[in-house]
Structure 1
């Protein structure tokens, strides 16, 4: 499939999606959000793809924010619809994918860019990365899940400060906050993410999918995460991956998971 704003490449079990609008610092417009949805959906449905990595083109930005020119003249109804559609199409969609998604944050991740990174299952940042939610400096608040996911990751107080000040934090501060898992030099960022992906790929894709579902359940209103975990745990016993994994363990060999 050919895209105008992104690139998608499959290599040895991994799909790498690159937001490719370098002249706009990879800002998210509606067309890019739609293309990202399609690329993530396609990769998630491909049984050969075991891990998805998303990054930005160039050396300056992962995603420097939303394309403000698209919504600067929106009214109340249009603004609400923009947030609802974006969350459904991309941000909530990515968070709930069965396939693990790693954000390779290679520069500025601001506004919608940080919200996209936070929707991924975890994040790795380059040393030059800068992150923040500057929306209050524009007279608005984060609308793609930022007010919800940032406190989950860094705590309420730090999230309040970041959103109220509209400031940026650097990669090491993001690491100390727990916003990213690792910080590496930019030239080695994708290679490092692929190394983690390779470790993930040794394990059962079916079990990983169930683990994502169970972990996410803890952050959903009205859902008992323990109940979801119990059901998911039990469901694993009916899979071919469970049979292979336990048999391989007892036979003292590496498992060759069928992904079923």
Structure 2
């Protein structure tokens, strides 16, 4: 039996591919278990994470066959929510490379990423209400933060699906790339991240994810740590020396 999440580990990044193409990469319990295991690894050894999907689809939703059999106790356990929160809170950036269908639980996993890019075939949205449930794994609070309250309400209450142009104009993705170049584009972003100081990147992500009530205090504490960092001194000295040589 194949693994639902195929993982390619590199020194400065990890590429995780949702790999259930026969189910259009629908997110089932085994996928959630694999995401938890991967998060545990990246919490212990922080690296940039690239999330993508096999077979021209990111994830067409949660596994409906499993969802149909879940009851109230399962809802209260927040099975998908817990995994997606963990993805969002990883120390280093998460890049979602989105091709084809990104629906329901698949969209909510994508919303948990820090950066999202797509392809012309992107179809993104939350049709849950048409199935008698709601988007309850992050969409109701992450979407307003990403696209604003009015557009989040439009998407979640109508259940409509956005194409690539709308997803780009709404800010759900930051760029559109040809399908065959999508992963290369994600690696280009990861390459840019890798050039920077990892601790400064982690602190920047932490501040970005902090609630409004923690600002500006959180920046003061994080910046104070960075100001005492040997890496800050090294990088700034190199910058000044390059300028002196011009």
TM-score higher than 0.5: yes
After TM superposition, the structure 1 stretch with the greater mean CA deviation from structure 2, 232-241 or 184-193, is: 232-241
Q: Work out the CA distance in 2 between the residues paired with 1:199 and 1:73.
A: 44
Contiguous gaps of at least 5 residues in structure 1: 254-260
TM-score by length of 2: 0.93
Work out which of the residue numbers 233, 241, 251 in structure 1 matches 2:231: 241
Do structure 1's residue 20 and structure 2's residue 19 form an aligned pair? yes
Task: Give the CA deviation at 1:240.
Answer: 2.6
Work out which of the residue numbers 207, 216, 231 in structure 2 matches 1:214: 207
Which residue matches 1:256? none
Which residue matches 2:195? 202
After TM superposition, the structure 1 stretch with the greater mean CA deviation from structure 2, 155-164 or 2-11, is: 2-11
Work out which of the residue numbers 66, 76, 80 in structure 2 matches 1:86: 80
- How many residues end up aligned between the 2 structures? 243
Q: Work out the CA distance in 2 between the residues paired with 1:241 and 1:208.
A: 12
Cα distance 1:107–1:196, how it changes in 2: closer, same or farther (>3 A)?
same
Work out which of the residue numbers 114, 119, 128 in structure 1 matches 2:121: 128
After TM superposition, the structure 1 stretch with the greater mean CA deviation from structure 2, 38-47 or 99-108, is: 38-47
Q: Work out the CA distance in 2 between the residues paired with 1:237 and 1:32.
A: 40
Do structure 1's residue 193 and structure 2's residue 186 form an aligned pair? yes
TM-score by length of 1: 0.88
Work out which of the residue numbers 140, 148, 151 in structure 1 matches 2:133: 140
Q: Work out the CA distance in 1 between the residues paired with 2:236 and 2:22.
A: 51
Task: Give the CA deviation at 1:33.
Answer: 0.8
Q: Work out the CA distance in 2 between the residues paired with 1:45 and 1:3.
A: 26
Q: Is the 8 A contact 2:16 2:52 kept in 1?
A: yes
Q: Is the 8 A contact 1:71 1:79 kept in 2?
A: no
Work out which of the residue numbers 168, 183, 188 in structure 2 matches 1:175: 168
Which residue matches 2:55? 58
Cα distance 1:3–1:98, how it changes in 2: closer, same or farther (>3 A)?
farther
Cα distance 1:240–1:3, how it changes in 2: closer, same or farther (>3 A)?
farther
Q: Work out the CA distance in 1 between the residues paired with 2:52 and 2:74.
A: 29
Do structure 1's residue 227 and structure 2's residue 217 form an aligned pair? yes
Q: Hey, which of these two has a bigger chunk of helix by percent?
A: 2
Cα distance 1:207–1:77, how it changes in 2: closer, same or farther (>3 A)?
same
Contiguous gaps of at least 5 residues in structure 2: none
After TM superposition, the structure 1 stretch with the greater mean CA deviation from structure 2, 236-245 or 141-150, is: 236-245
| 1:27-64 deviation line (CA, Å, top 9, x unaligned) | 111110110221233244336x3x211100011x1011
Which residue matches 2:146? 153
Q: Work out the CA distance in 1 between the residues paired with 2:215 and 2:36.
A: 27
Q: Work out the CA distance in 2 between the residues paired with 1:225 and 1:31.
A: 38
